[in-house]
Amino acid sequence: MRLLNAQRGFTLVEVMVALAVVAVALPALLFVYMQQVDNTGYLRDKWLASQVIENKWTEVELLTQTRGFTLDGKQSGEYTLADRQWYWLLSKEKTPIDFFFRYELKVFAAEDDELPLLTQVFFLREERS
């Protein structure tokens, strides 16, 4: 036999447990969301730095093709991309193979950064006349 006056709904304890679960879960979700926002900015910067490296390396290859060689030692400079200044450092080293050189190109987000945002190593054959 069923009671006719049975009330349906949540008890105060059930409501308090649900609120406690939401109170714990919401800050955790906000933390994860903020991490995603930070990671998006970092990934954007890494991608832009890779574009700077591609553009600078293309310049090095073109200089090598037109002049036959590039400058020795280290070179550095600024590069504007996406309305932002990027700082690059290009170093050139000899390898045991004649006319074959190792280039290391680093891109920094700020001029006074000690750690590069991205580093790429290239090898290039140069013929000197």
Give the residue-averaged pLDDT of 86-114: 95
* Any domain includes 7: no
* CA dihedral of 58, 63, 68, 72, whole degrees rounded to 10: -100
* Any domain includes 62: yes
Q: Check residues 117 and 128 and name the one with the higher pLDDT.
A: 117
Domain that holds residue 98: 12-125
Per-residue pLDDT, 8:
79
* DSSP alpha helix (H) spans, 2-103: 12-67
Give Dmax over CA atoms of the chain in angstroms. 106
67: CATH:
3.30.1300.30
What percent of the chain clears pLDDT 90, i.e. is strictly above it?
Answer: 67
* Any domain includes 5: no
CB 93 within 8 A of CB 102: yes
**Beta carbons within 10 angstroms of residue 81's beta carbon:** 13
pLDDT in tens, 52-82: 999 999 999 998 888 877 778 899 999 999 9
* Any domain includes 3: no
Indicate the number of domains in the chain: 1
